[in-house]
Amino acid sequence: MNRFLEKLRNNELALGQMVLDLFSPGIGPMLAACDLDFVIYDMEHGRCDIGLAAEMLASCRGTGITPMVRVPDVEAAPLSRMLDLGAEGVMVPRVETRAQMERIVAELKYPPAGKRGVAMGLAHDLYRPGGAAYLSRMNEETAVIVIVETVRAFENLEEIVSVPGLDVAWMGHYDLTTSMGIPAQFEHPRFLDAMERLVSVCRKYNVAAGFLPPTPADAAHWIRTGFRAISLGSDVGVFMGGIRSFRNAVTGTAPA
């Protein structure tokens, strides 16, 4: 079973991390060893291409963590290619309409639920071809995540979140505040209203709200608010924060 989806469907908190830069084959297993539920490899920003993504996904096999991929764009067709490489979920940025949302679900689900192409005996099934039961099971165990990160997306929020097959609507906070004309103003009332609205709409349609809070205090706050899919910062932020804290503890001073 997809551990990430199992947590969400049991109305539990799913914790993981977004990997933006540190694409070592060890990063997924290390996160698994820290008892995280998921890892998302980001192809939208930075240097991760499809070959590197395939390597990262393979490194997670047998660890228990749910490996997923953030594709570069909503038009990055076919989205299902990441699933054939072994991803157990796909995150799609810049989703703004119901039509886009419906197309995303269709591309990530096998018929009759969608139109995903069928190729057996590859990485996704560990080179052991299955039959009709496998296709049905994969439809249930493939996580569909979309990032809502523009004013237009929030104008169409209910139309997007109500599409059957969506598992997580993820807040894209930097892009949304930029789209609002208040870049990086995360205490602005308009942004805070959007966060609360996302949780409310997700609850209405039994979809999890997702977010990447930068600090433990932020994470605790937004979990209390109702977010259930949480990235514990990013690989870059957590690594650099840990080094800074270690350095400060050793030297007794903050870096210049």
pLDDT at position 131 is 85
Report d(CA 170, CA 168) in Å as an integer: 6
pLDDT band at 230 (very low <50, low <70, confident <90, very high): very high
**Segment 58-80, tens digit of pLDDT:** 999 999 999 999 999 988 778 99
Per the listing, tokens 């169409």 go with: 156
**Is 218 inside any structural domain?**
yes
Q: In this prediction, what percent of the chain has a pLDDT beyond 70?
A: 99
**Segment 29-39, tens digit of pLDDT:** 999 999 999 99
Q: Domains in the chain: how many in total? A: 1
Residue 232 dihedral angles phi and psi, to the nearest 5°: -75, 80
Closest CA to 68 of 131, 147, 133, 121: 147
- Give the number of other CB atoms < 10 A from CB of residue 54: 19
Q: Which helix (H) or strand (E) holds 247?
A: helix 235-251
- Give the number of other CB atoms < 10 A from CB of residue 85: 20
User: pTM of the predicted model, to two decimals?
Assistant: 0.95
Report d(CA 219, CA 217) in Å as an integer: 5
Q: Span 233-247, mean pLDDT?
A: 96
**Segment 210-229, tens digit of pLDDT:** 999 999 999 999 999 999 99
Closest CA to 41 of 32, 168, 132, 54: 54
The DSSP letter of residue 117 is P
pLDDT at position 46 is 83
Rounded-to-10 torsion of CA 169, 19, 23, 254: 170
Q: Span 71-94, mean pLDDT?
A: 93
Range of the domain at 192: 3-251
Question: Angle at the Cα of 194 (from 188 to 195), degrees rounded to 5?
Answer: 90
Phi-psi region of 206 (alpha: psi -120 to 50; beta: other; left: phi over 0): left
CA atoms within 13 A on the CB side of 124: 24
pLDDT at position 256 is 58
**Is 78 inside any structural domain?**
yes
Report d(CA 202, CA 106) in Å as an integer: 20
Report d(CA 87, CA 200) in Å as an integer: 29
Q: Span 8-26, mean pLDDT?
A: 97
Name 70's bridge partners: 42, 91
**Is 122 inside any structural domain?**
yes
**Is 132 inside any structural domain?**
yes
**Is 222 inside any structural domain?**
yes
Mean pLDDT of the chain: 96
pLDDT at position 200 is 98
**Is 155 inside any structural domain?**
yes
**Is 256 inside any structural domain?**
no
pLDDT at position 255 is 60
CATH code where residue 96 lies: 3.20.20.60
**Segment 146-191, tens digit of pLDDT:** 999 999 999 999 999 999 999 999 999 999 999 999 999 999 999 9
